[in-house]
Structure 1
Amino acid sequence: MMFRLEDGRQPVCKLDLSRPTVSRLLRFSRDQGLVRLEIADPAKDREAAASRLEAKYGLKKALLVYDASHDRRILNEKLGERAAGYLASIVRDHDRIGISWGRALEEVANHLRPSSCKDVSVVQLKGSVSVSDMNNYANDISRNFGAAFQTNTLALPLPVIFDSAVTKDIVMRDRFIADVFAAGKATNIAIFTCGTVRNDAMLFKLGYLDKSETARLQAHAVGDVISHFITADGSLADADIDAKTVSLPLGEVKEKEYSILVVGAAPKISAIRGTLLGGYANVLITDYESALSFLA
Structure 2
Amino acid sequence: MYSKQEMIKVAKLYYELGLTQKQIAEQLSYSRPTISRILEAAMKSGIVEVNIRYSLDSVDYLSKQLQQRFDLKKAFVAPVFVNKADLIMADVGKALANYLYDICQENDILGVSWGKTLTCVADHLQPKKVPSMQIVQLNGGVAQNSFATGSMTILEHFSKNFDADAHLLYAPTIVDSEEIAHVLMTDSNLQRVIALGKKANIAVFGIGRPSYDSVLYQAGYFKEDSYQTLLKKGAVGDICSRYYKIDGSLVDQNLNKRTIGLQLDELQQKEHAIAIAVGTEKAQAVLGALRGKFLSTLFVDEYLAKEIIHLDQAMK
Q: TM-score, normalised by structure 2?
A: 0.77
**CA pair 255-162 structure 1, distance change in 2 beyond 3 A:** same
Letter in 2 for 1:99: V
* Whole-angstrom CA distance in 2 between matches of 1:118 and 1:174: 27
Deviations 1:143-197 (A, max 9, x none): 1100011123100010000011100110111111101110110100000001111
Given that 2:129 and 2:164 are in contact with CA atoms closer than 8 Å, whether structure 1 keeps it comes out as no
SS at match of 1:156: coil
Deviations 1:224-255 (A, max 9, x none): 11111000111101111111101200111111
Structure 1 position 135, deviation (Å): 2.6
Given that 2:80 and 2:88 are in contact with CA atoms closer than 8 Å, whether structure 1 keeps it comes out as yes
Given that 1:196 and 1:223 are in contact with CA atoms closer than 8 Å, whether structure 2 keeps it comes out as yes
1:217 maps to: 230
SS at match of 1:153: strand
Matched, 1:251 2:262: no
SS at match of 2:72: coil
Structure 1 position 119, deviation (Å): 0.5
* Whole-angstrom CA distance in 1 between matches of 2:279 and 2:62: 16
Letter in 2 for 1:238: D
Structure 1 position 134, deviation (Å): 2.3
More displaced stretch, 190-199 vs 121-130: 190-199
2:308 maps to: 294
Letter in 1 for 2:61: A
Q: Which structure is higher in RCO with an 8 Å CA cutoff and minimum separation 6? A: 1
* Whole-angstrom CA distance in 1 between matches of 2:281 and 2:216: 15
* Whole-angstrom CA distance in 2 between matches of 1:128 and 1:44: 33
* Whole-angstrom CA distance in 2 between matches of 1:118 and 1:46: 34
Equivalent residue in structure 2 for 1:89, among 90, 102, 105 = 102
Gaps of 5+ in 2: 1-55, 311-316
- 1:1-296 correspondence to structure 2 within 5 Å: 46-219=59-232, 220-296=234-310
**CA pair 181-169 structure 1, distance change in 2 beyond 3 A:** same
More displaced stretch, 261-270 vs 114-123: 114-123
Structure 1 position 69, deviation (Å): 3.5
2:41 maps to: none
Structure 1 position 73, deviation (Å): 2.0
Which protein has the bigger helix share?
A: 2
Letter in 2 for 1:269: A
Q: TM-score, normalised by structure 1?
A: 0.83
More displaced stretch, 46-55 vs 111-120: 111-120
Given that 2:138 and 2:262 are in contact with CA atoms closer than 8 Å, whether structure 1 keeps it comes out as yes
Deviations 1:181-223 (A, max 9, x none): 1011010000000111122222112111223321111112001
Q: Percent identity, please.
A: 30
Gaps of 5+ in 1: 1-42
* Whole-angstrom CA distance in 1 between matches of 2:211 and 2:121: 24
Task: Decide which structure has the larger Cα Rg and report it.
Answer: 1
* Whole-angstrom CA distance in 2 between matches of 1:260 and 1:199: 25
* Whole-angstrom CA distance in 2 between matches of 1:156 and 1:167: 16
Equivalent residue pairs, number = 254
More displaced stretch, 111-120 vs 75-84: 111-120
**CA pair 131-93 structure 1, distance change in 2 beyond 3 A:** same
Superposition CA RMSD, Å: 1.5
* Whole-angstrom CA distance in 2 between matches of 1:86 and 1:68: 20
SS at match of 2:65: helix
